[in-house]
Amino acid sequence: MDVHTLEKLQFGHVRSSLADCCACTLGKGLARQLEPARKVSAVRGWFEQVRQMERAFDEIAVPPLGGVHDIRAHVRDASQPAGLEPHDLCRISETLIATSNICRWLVSLPEDLPLIHKIGERIGDFGAVGQQINRAIDERGLIRDDASKKLLNIRRSIDHQREEIRRIYSRILRKTEVLRILQYPNTTMRGSRTVLPLKTEYRGRLKGIVHSSSDTGSTLFIEPAGVVEANNSIVSLKESERKEIARILAELSYLVHQNEKEIFRTLEAVAVIDLIAGKVRYKKSRKAVCPEIPDNYHLVLHQARHPVLLDLAREDENKTVVPIDVRLGDDFDLLIITGPNTGGKTVTLKTIGLISLMAQCGIPIPAGAGSKVPLYQRIHIDVGDEQSIEQSLSTFSSHLSNILKTLREAKKNSLVLLDELGSGTDPDEGAAIGRAIIDELAGIGCSGVVTTHLSALKSIAFGNDRIDNGSVEFDPKTLRPTYHLRLGEPGNSNALIIAQRLGMPKKMVKRAKGYLSKRGKAINKVIAATLDSRRQAERARLEANDSMLSAEQQRIHYMQEVRKLEEERTAQYQWYEWVNSIKPNQEVYVRKFETTAKVVRLNLQRQTAIVSSGAVEMEVHLNELVQPEKAPDSD
């Protein structure tokens, strides 16, 4: 799909909203890179992944993705001679330990979620690697004393030498003659050396090495002779410590490098798990559905809402989104929508386009059950600023150039969306050009939606059974659009109604009606004559669809109940098998007392068991016995 179409339909907003529903950086990154697919089997598979993940949400738990980071750059750097820094290894460790949690979650899932299990097969359990890093580096990114036996001995020696220095200084600072020649009675640091602040005028009174002086020159920082050897030892030990830490980091980095391919494969699979989980959260938060993906190009949307407007309404309680029912490709291919300005024509057109893009990415759509979205091989769109008052010739030329490009590229498997066709020029010429464009689209046989203000384009549908009219409703009492879409009914600009309600004298309204063209009057008569029958036909279609949806929902509910009963029956059978295999002294969990106990003996005829807990024996019904690993607190 070309960038122009994605931008005009605001697909970037949907990708960002989906990314916000993901739990970690990996999934968010995938969400922001989603591209529409054209392969039916792939898209159906993506929606089945969402359905299976939703079952996992509802029956088990959400995927435990806490602690997962995008560590790919760090893993690549592990092969470098310098190795990794402690903080980098900490981040890797946290992520690798998180893979253990994901593996346990996958094991807990029902077996009849094959698509989730298939992704899970690529996730390795690197908890042991993460724990090995943790044993060497703490959560602050500091190397632990016991990261190696050698490091522990070095640090103990450093502590010993530091204690020796403290003892030496303690003896020195207890001497009155020394305190008298110091600027202040405490030690201080110069570089890595512990020194005393000697007054300059007493130079030579204290034996030792002068390391530096104060900015004013009044103080000399001297290391007493008795401390030099201990400080030298610390410096040497510190160098040994640095080398040992470097060896430990290199060893841990190499451990990560050894597992690089498996870690990358795991991260890719975790990203997919997070993306699917994000789609489930998006679905639940927007009351969206996974649409059917038909083999043909029949589009059916029930109660569809524009995704961007829906997000705005979720943030503002005062805003609402009016849902629409629309179809294409079944009894007609092209829909011409007319009606008042700002009445929702453009929103309808964009809703169809954006929802089609979402479906092709496997993203649940904000629509009702029974919705169907085909995979169009290309979506073409030409949409301008529907709020503009004046349009220049250059704007008209630009739109016409886009439309002509669309006509050259569109195929039968395309979806074409043209907004305000014929506007920006003389109405008669605009209508003539618009009609020629619609005729060309009809000849191509593609699906399409055209919005227009031009009444002359309404009549096209009466001469071609693959073209139909639609309109956005207008309330003449409030002089406001209702934003409801009606299929089979062309709309009116309602200019005369608005003028009359705003106070235009009746004689002026009558005179204005007389100026309407004969062709326009004839079209309105045809519309009026067929309006009742079209409305009845649409009502009948909606009722039939509702009946089919209700039957399908009942079928799904029945299948869910059957599956639930099968699971209960299997669990009961497994329990019977286990009870019959219980031996004396075998450990069991007793629900009644919420504790484990040992079986003394069973009485299968009476369906009871004698169990002991400590020195206490008690009789319980067999139904109270549970396998210890299936006890409520077994996790």
Beta bridge partners of 474: 481
Q: Considering only CA atoms, which of 423, 425, 411, 414 is closest in space to residue 457?
A: 423
How does DSSP classify residue 142? P
Mean pLDDT of the chain: 86
Q: CA 482, 484, 487: angle at the middle one, nearest 5?
A: 140
Kindly state the average pLDDT of the residues 490-508. 74
pLDDT value, residue 231: 86
Q: Distance between CA 269 and CA 44 in Å, rounded?
A: 19
Residue 389's pLDDT band, with cuts at 50, 70 and 90, is: very low
> Which H helix or E strand runs over 358?
helix 345-360
pLDDT tens column, 329-338: 888 999 998 8
Q: Distance between CA 419 and CA 160 in Å, rounded?
A: 82
pLDDT value, residue 226: 81
Residue length, the chain? 635
Q: Which of 113-127, 304-318, 538-552, 560-574 has the lowest mean pLDDT?
A: 538-552
- Determine phi and psi for 415, rounding to 5 degrees: -115, 125
Beta strands, E only, 227-314: 299-304
Q: Distance between CA 128 and CA 298 in Å, rounded?
A: 52
- The two beta strands, 467-475 and 480-487, are antiparallel
Q: Which of 152-156, 216-220, 320-324, 421-425 has the lowest mean pLDDT?
A: 421-425
Q: Is the pLDDT of residue 228 over 90?
A: no
Higher pLDDT: 348 or 594? It is 348
Residue 392's pLDDT band, with cuts at 50, 70 and 90, is: very low
Q: What is the CA radius of gyration of the chain?
A: 39
Strands ordered across the beta sheet of 188-190: 188-190, 193-199, 219-224, 208-213
**Cβ-based neighbours of 198, under 8 Å, separated by 6 or more:** 181, 182, 183, 205, 206, 219, 220, 221, 222
Residue 422's pLDDT band, with cuts at 50, 70 and 90, is: confident
pLDDT tens column, 234-246: 889 999 999 999 9
Beta bridge partners of 328: 299
pLDDT value, residue 159: 93
Please tell me whether residue 386 adopts helix, strand or coil conformation: coil
Write the secondary structure of 157-213 as one string of H (helix), E (strand) and C (coil). Answer: HHHHHHHHHHHHHHHHCCCHHHHCCECCCCCEEECCEEEEEEEHHHCCCCCEEEEEE
Q: Considering only CA atoms, which of 435, 427, 518, 429 is closest in space to residue 418?
A: 435
Kindly state the average pLDDT of the residues 544-571. 73
The answer to whether residues 130 and 94 touch, using CB atoms and an 8 Å cutoff, is yes
pLDDT value, residue 83: 82
Higher pLDDT: 488 or 185? It is 185
pLDDT above 90 covers a percentage of the chain that reads 44
Q: Distance between CA 1 and CA 23 in Å, rounded?
A: 28
Supply 399's token pair. 């739109």
Q: Distance between CA 66 and CA 277 in Å, rounded?
A: 13
pLDDT value, residue 320: 85
pLDDT tens column, 285-340: 999 999 999 999 999 999 999 999 999 988 888 888 889 999 998 889 999 988 76
Beta bridge partners of 486: 471
Q: Considering only CA atoms, which of 117, 18, 98 is closest in space to residue 60?
A: 117
pLDDT value, residue 134: 92
For the residues of 498-552, what is the DSSP string, one character each? Answer: HHHHTT--HHHHHHHHHHS-HHHHHHHHHHHHHHHHHHHHHHHHHHHHHHHHHHH
Q: Distance between CA 275 and CA 290 in Å, rounded?
A: 15
Higher pLDDT: 422 or 439? It is 439
**Residue 65: exposed, middle, or buried by beta-carbon count in 10 A (0-12, 13-18, 19+)?**
buried
Q: Considering only CA atoms, which of 341, 302, 287 is closest in space to residue 483?
A: 341
pLDDT value, residue 157: 94
Residue 552's pLDDT band, with cuts at 50, 70 and 90, is: low
Q: Considering only CA atoms, which of 507, 481, 483, 505 is closest in space to residue 494?
A: 481
How does DSSP classify residue 137? B
pLDDT value, residue 513: 73
Supply 509's token pair. 């309204």
Q: Is the pLDDT of residue 401 over 50?
A: yes
Kindly state the average pLDDT of the residues 357-380. 94
Beta bridge partners of 380: 416
pLDDT tens column, 59-96: 889 999 989 999 999 999 998 887 899 999 999 999 99
Kindly state the average pLDDT of the residues 589-594. 84
Helix, strand, coil percentages (3-state) for the chain, rounded to 5, are: 55, 15, 30
Q: Is the pLDDT of residue 618 over 80?
A: yes
Would you say the C-alpha torsion 43, 49, 51, 57 has a positive or negative sign?
negative
